[in-house]
A and B are shown apart, each in its own frame.
Chain A
């Protein structure tokens, strides 16, 4: 039982390049989330998916797109990376129906030069 798995762990991109961050969970959770964490700051919500087939914007969605591929997988895409997107990206999942803790992966550290 791995929990929430994120790939890759590290990535360096040049400005303008694109990439997709992958996330999968094996806890049978309906809800999944993408957060970014910048140095010395808390986590900010980029996008979330309350259930398979639905996605909604969070606090900082600009420059990102998401796909809820199935119940297990939720990917985050950067179409044209910018230095301001240098950050650590965390995927999380939770049950749906009542407020409950989010379970986080170990993050993808992204640097855009």
Chain B
């Protein structure tokens, strides 16, 4: 999920399968993490968030897992649908004292095959 310039990592998933998107973060002081979905031509759309005092949080068809030991974040999408095709970004809040500023990863493209 880190920046790789022009070439986004791509995850191809069969419709109905589960998707797992991974993200590594570097700052052990980060205490808030968010996943966004971005469809072509649109702005990022909030999916789910998690605070550092948790290791798992579930939403509708999505689960976020946080492993602070290895500084790793993942987003699991259950029963992936064609509408899930998009670019997914993780973001972290690195310095809560300096305000609600998010630092974004480079994104992962998810392609859902019918």
Residues of A within 8 A of B (CB): 4, 31, 33, 35, 39-45, 48, 50, 56, 58, 90, 92, 94-96, 98-107
Contact = CB atoms under 8 A, between A and B. Distances in A.
Contact of B100 (A4, A42, A58, A94): A94
A87 B96 CA distance: 28
A26 B21 CA distance: 32
6 contacts: A4-B43, A40-B8, A45-B102, A96-B100, A101-B49, A107-B41
Given A58-B101, A99-B100, A102-B46, 14 more contacts: A31-B99, A40-B107, A41-B5, A42-B105, A42-B106, A43-B44, A45-B103, A98-B100, A99-B31, A99-B96, A102-B44, A102-B102, A104-B45, A107-B42
Contacts, number: 72
A14 B101 CA distance: 32
B6 interface: yes
Nearest to B98: A56
Give chain B's interface residue range (CB within 8 Å of chain A). Answer: 20 to 34
- Smallest CB-CB A-B distances: 3 pairs: A104-B43, A42-B104, A40-B6
Nearest to A4: B43
A2 to B, nearest CB: 13
Interface in B41-84: 41-46, 49, 51
Classify the interface of chain B: helix, strand, loop or mixed.
Answer: loop
Contacts of A39: 6
Given A31-B99, A42-B89, A105 B43 contact: yes
A99 B93 contact: yes
Contacts of A40: 4-8, 106-107
Nearest to A6: B43
